[in-house]
Structure formats: structure tokens, C-alpha cells
Chains A and B, each alone.
Chain A
Amino acid sequence: MNLVTPGIGLLFWMTLTFLILLFVLGKFAWKPILQSLKAREEKISNSLALAKSTQEEMKKLKADNEALLKEAREERDQIIRSAQKMKEVIVSEARQKAQTEADKIIESARENIQNEKMAAIIDLKNQMAELSIEVAEKVIRRELADLPSQKKYLDEELKSLNFN
């Protein structure tokens, strides 16, 4: 066995073994290993990109939210302000309306009262007239019932009467 002259057996077995090794490892080891390494790297870089984009999105969302919040706050203030104004308007309007209504009611009441009063006065006048007539009648009737005295009264009256 020499140092620099390899035997044919060694060359044959080495070639065979190496080919088998290349085939077996290439097919069943290197291929899946390299594939999963690549897949893992892609996954990591994708995840990193996703994280970055998510972060940016979050930032944007946050800014959006803030803007929205600000807008909402402004809108709220405006609504409150306008509501307040409206309230004032409504209240003053209502007050005015109530005032006029009240005035109207009072006026009509006064008129009514006046009318009633006038009616009552007229009624009273009428009743008084009737009553005085009735009293007068009664008095007259009584007076007339006492004929001698009447006659006497008339005589006296006639006596005093001078036919001039």
C-alpha cells in the first residue's frame, strides 16, 4: 500500500459511497433542512415587516383617533352651545307667549267682568223698578182701600184748592 498510488478498490468504494451519500443526504436531509431554513427566514422577515406596518398603522390609527376625538369634542361643544342658545330662545319665547296669553286672559276676564257687572246693574235696575212699582202698587192699593180717609183727603185737597 503506497502513499500516492491509491488502489482501485478504494476509489471504487469511495465513489460509490460518496454518490450514495450525496443522493441520500441531498434528497432527505439537505433539501428539507434548507427549505425549512428558508421558510423560517422568510417568516421572520415577513413577521418583522408585518410588525413594522402594524406599528405604523397603529400610529396612524392613534392619530386618526385623536383627530376624531378632537372633532367629537368640538362637535359636542358646538351642540351644547347651540342647545344653550336654543334653550334661551325657547325660554324667552315661551315667556313672551305666556305674557301675551296672560294679558289676553286678563283682558277678556276684565271685559267679562265688565259685561257681567253691566248686566247685573241692568238686572238690578229692572228688578228695582219692578220692586218699586210693586211697592208703589201695594202702597197705592192700601191707600185706596181706605176710602173714607181718601175721601177726606180729597175733600181737604179740594177745599184747599181755589178755583181761581
Chain B
Amino acid sequence: MTKPASGKISNIVLSILGVIFLIFSTFQAKADDHQNAHAEESFNPGEMIFDHVLDAHDWHILTIGHKHISVPLPIIIVDRLDSKIHIFSSSKLAHGHSHLGYKLGTEGDLKGKIIRESNSSTDGILDFSITKTVFAIFFSAILMIILFLSIAKSYRTREDKAPKGMQSALEPIILFVRDDIAKAAIGSKKYMKYMPFLLTIFFFIVINNLLGLIPIFPGGSNVNGNIGVTMILAVFTFIITSVSASKSYWTHMINMPGVPWWLKFPLPLMPIVEIMGMFTKPFVLMVRLFANILAGHIVILGFMSMIFIFGTINMYLGYGVSIISVAFSVFLFLLEILVAFIQAYVFTLLSALYFGMALEEHH
């Protein structure tokens, strides 16, 4: 990394090795074809990827042979039929077991959901479980609280001194959010009111994106690639926009000045478009973040799956492909680190822009 020349050379060496492996393994594949008659445990990449990117009631870490290692998480069920709250560990529902008449669905839309054993439906079950995503949200929230309270403390104790450690690492980002997002989009008069929200969503998105890139517990959860999470973030932006909107924002929405009468009657076209726009803005925020992070996770896992897809055809082919897969995954991981910041920036900037638009006074 320090010397670009040596990095280039090692890249070339790696690619040559990869090609050799590929050629070698294809020959080997032909030779071993008849020996591989007994099918190994089938590998379903789609299932593996969706198991990862979707929410789950336990936190699966790895599987050795037939032994699954996972962190059990609490299941909280509010049952509206018997008006009771049931709390138990998800390990009681593992491997298709049932507990208190509940079990985990395995097929189709019900896969991974808690269903009644009796009729295989979710009727009347309100699932407030601490799922994988919820656990990851808690974890990141606690991490953020510890991190930023300690930074706030060092601002108090190291008053009038140069920032140090974590404080100096995060201060440029805080200043960036303040100067280049809040002040630029909202204006230097009213930005201060929105700073806590903007900083919180920025760091919430960044930290969860970065934690999502760490492959092992407690990282690796697909938090911002879960539409529920981005929905709540977008709803907060929507609520704050609507609450802080000025009078002229609403008058422009309902009755845009300068619109000719034939556009208002018989069909008030502009208000319809404006009100639709009011909802599409947070909707787009929600989908953009969700889709970007989800896609990142899926693509990295897709490259990883390629190793095993080729590996089921032939072991050596799997080894050969692994070099390319790992190289691409590393590239994608680096790209995802960039995306983690870009998406946080975009979400925060657009939220700030919406606040700025809502506050604007037209003359």
C-alpha cells in the first residue's frame, strides 16, 4: 500500500495466479467429473443471501457441519386472542420446535415469522421480539451514546485545548454536518434547531452502515438495508418538515400563486402534484438508503456465493474462483465504506434541504 509500484506488481501476480488456478481447475473438473457423482449438500445462494439480509429471530453466526451456532434473542409476543404478553428465548423455537403453541414459519411469506402451531397463521400475533435488526439498533444506539457522551465530556474537560483522540477524529465530521449540510441547506439563522436531528441521523446511518460491513457478531446486521429502519428515519424527516413548515410553504402547496385559473378548475392539478411531492420526498429517502445498503450486502454475498456455486461443481474450481471472488469482495467492501458515508451524507443533506425548503419565506 505504501509503494504503489509494489501494489501494482502484486496485483498482476494475483491475477496471473487466478488465471492459472482457473485453467488448472477446469481441467481437473473434467477429470473428476465422474467421481463427483454423489451430490454434496446442495448450496442455495438465494436462500443464503436472503437469510442474511432479512430480519431474523436469532443471530446466526456460523454452521459447522450440521451444528448451527447462533445467538438466541428474546421473543416478545403480544397475543390479542388471549390478551397476554409472552416473553421467551428464540432458542425454544429453533429447529422447528414449538413453544406455547407458537412456532416459526418455514414456507413462503410466513418464513421466519411467528405463527400459531394450530392453524399456521399470524392472526392476532403482534411480534415485538428483539430481532436481529432490533438488537443491532440497540447495539449501535448504545455505542453512539457511549461514544458521543465521552466526546462531549472531553469537550468539557479539555476546554480551550486542541481536540484529542476520538474527539479530533469526529470533530471534522461534526463540523462538516454543521457547516456544509445544515448551514448550507437551512441557512445560518435557523440551522441550530435542526442540528441534533441531523447529527443523530448522520451518525446513526454511518455507524450502522459500517457495523453492517463487519462480518461477525455484533456487526454484519443489515440495519439500513431494512426498509422498516429507513422508513422510520424518513418519517422523522417528514414530521419535522411538516411541523416546522412556514405559512408560505402551505399556501404554495395548496394554492400556488401565479397559476392560471384553468389549471385550478375543474381539476386542481398543482395542489395534487405538490401534495404528492410532499410524500414522495421522504418515500424516496426511505427507498434510496434501503436499496443502496441492501444492494451492497447482496452483491458482496453474491461474490462469496460464487465460490460455493463453483465449489459444488468442482472443489478446485471453487478455489480458483475464490481468488477473483475475494478480490472483488475486497473491492466492494471498500466501495461500501464509501457508500456508507455517501448515503449518510445524502440522507442528511436531503433532510436538511427539505427543512430549508419548508422554512423558506416566499415574497
Instruction: Verify B128–A13 contact, CB threshold 8 A.
Output: yes
Give bound CA distance, A1 to B200, whole Å.
28
**Chain A interface residue number, banded:** 20 to 34
Question: Which one of B54, B138, B160 contacts A1 once the chains associate, using CB atoms below 8 Å?
Answer: B54
B residues less than 8 Å from A37 (CB atoms): 155, 171, 174-175, 178
Judge if A148 is at the interface, Cβ distance under 8 Å. no
CB distance A17 to B137 under 8 Å? yes
Q: Decide: B129 and A11 in contact? CB cutoff 8 A.
A: no
Whole-angstrom CA separation of A40 from B53 in the bound complex: 44
Contact assessment for B141 and A17 in the assembled complex, using a CB-CB cutoff below 8 Å = yes
CA distance A43 to B148 in the complex (A): 23
CB atoms of A12 and B128 under 8 A apart: yes
Q: How far is the CB of A130 from chain B (nearest CB, A)?
A: 121
**Interface stretch among A24-32, A59-67, A70-78, A90-98?**
A24-32
B232 at the binding interface (Cβ < 8 Å): yes
Interface size band for B: 35 or more
Neighbour of B55 across the interface among A1, A25, A34, A43, CB < 8 A: A1
Chain A neighbourhood of B47, CB < 8 A: none
Chain B, interface SS category: helix
Contact in complex: B145, A40 (CB < 8 Å): no
- A31→B149 CA distance, assembly (Å): 11
Min Cβ gap A35→B in Å is: 8
**A-B CB contacts (within 8 Å), total count:** 121
Specify which of B131, B226, B236 is in contact with A18 (CB 8 Å cutoff): B236
Given contact pairs A26-B196, A34-B178, A7 touches B127 in the complex (Cβ within 8 A):
yes
Query: Which of B54, B127, B156, B200 is in CB contact (< 8 Å) with A22?
Result: B200
| A21-B141 contact, Cβ under 8 Å, with A9-B134, A33-B155, A37-B174 | yes
Interface residue? A8 (CB, 8 A)? yes
Instruction: Kindly identify which residue among A14, A29, A30 contacts B228, using a CB–CB cutoff of 8 Å.
Output: A14
Chain B 279-319 interface mask (CB, 8 Å, partner A; 1/0):
00000000000000010000000000000000000000000
Interchain CB contact under 8 A, A25 and B231:
no
| Complex Cα gap A4–B231 (Å) | 10
Q: B48: CB under 8 A from chain A?
A: no
B56 touches A13 (CB 8 A): no
Q: Given contacts A32-B152, A37-B175, is CB(A10)–CB(B204) below 8 Å?
A: no
Contacts of A33 in B (CB 8 A): 148, 151-152, 155, 174
Interface residue from B109, B128, B155 paired with A9 (Cβ < 8 Å)? B128
State how many angstroms separate the Cβ of B158 from the closest Cβ of chain A: 9
Contacts of B112 in A (CB 8 A): 1
Q: Are A21 and B204 in contact (CB under 8 A)?
A: yes
Q: How far is the CB of B111 from chain A (nearest CB, A)?
A: 7
Q: Is the CB of B126 within 8 A of A34?
A: no
A-contact bits for B225-241, CB 8 A (1 contact / 0 none): 01111011100100000
- For B290, the closest partner residue in chain A by CB is A4
Interface residues of B in 18-63 (CB under 8 A from A): 50, 53-56
- Inter-chain contact A20/B160, CB cutoff 8 Å: no
Decide: A22 and B128 in contact? CB cutoff 8 A: no
Task: Choose from A5, A14, A40 the contact partner of B134 (Cβ within 8 Å).
Answer: A14
Residues of A within 8 A of B233 (CB): 18
Most buried by B among A7, A12, A32: A7
Cα of A36 to Cα of B171 in the assembled complex, Å: 11
Residue of A nearest to B294 (CB): A3
A15 at the interface (CB under 8 A from B): yes
A6 touches B151 (CB 8 A): no
Bound Cα distance from A93 to B117, whole angstroms? 138
Tell me whether A2 is interfacial, beta carbon within 8 Å: yes
A114 to chain B, nearest CB (A): 102
Alpha-carbon separation in the docked complex, A21 to B137 (Å): 10
Given A25-B148, A34-B195: A10 in contact with B229 (beta carbons within 8 A)? yes
By a CB distance below 8 angstroms, the chain B residues around A24 are: 145, 149
Q: Which residues of B contact A43 (CB under 8 A)?
A: 160
When distances are taken between beta carbons in the complex, the residues of chain A under 8 Å from B156 are: 32, 36
Given contacts A13-B134, A14-B228, A43-B160, contact A32 B109 (CB under 8 A): no
A1 to B227, CA, bound (A): 12
Which residues of chain A are within 8 angstroms of B200 by Cβ–Cβ distance? 18, 21-22, 25-26, 30
Determine the distance from Cα of A2 to Cα of B75 in the docked complex, in whole angstroms: 18
Give B178's nearest chain A residue, CB to CB.
A34
A4 CB → nearest B CB, Å: 5
Chain B, Cβ-Cβ closest to A4: B227
Instruction: Name the interface residues of B140-170: CB closer than 8 Å to any CB of A.
Output: 141, 144-145, 148-149, 151-152, 155-156, 159-160
Asked whether, in the complex, the Cβ of A22 is within 8 Å of the Cβ of B130, the reply is: no
